[in-house]
Amino acid sequence: MVSKCANPDCSATFDHRRGKLFRFPKRSLQGDRPANTHSVQHFWLCGECFEAFFLEYHESHGVTMKPHVEKAPASGSPKVIAAA
């Protein structure tokens, strides 16, 4: 269940009326039973964070948060939100 913004630097609590909800496949950890093929995980960016960032899924390393190019703050590399 989503309870707060996926941005680790933000403490906004979930509000379905603002921001953006993302759905990504849920992968099992190495050595675990494979996840149900319909398993998903949900992430939410609050309205303020969604203006500057988006979430992206990569099978190799999981969910990352990246800045929108046109609104990119001067931060470094993408932040891993959930490992693959």
User: Average pLDDT of the chain?
Assistant: 82
Average pLDDT score over residue span 20-25: 92
pLDDT in the model for residue 55: 95
Share of the chain above pLDDT 70, in %: 73
pLDDT in the model for residue 52: 94
- Under DSSP, the state recorded for 50 is H
Q: Helices (DSSP H) in the chain: which residue ranges?
A: 47-52
Average pLDDT score over residue span 50-66: 90
Tell me if 49 sits within 8 A of 19, measured CB to CB: yes
pTM of the full structure: 0.70
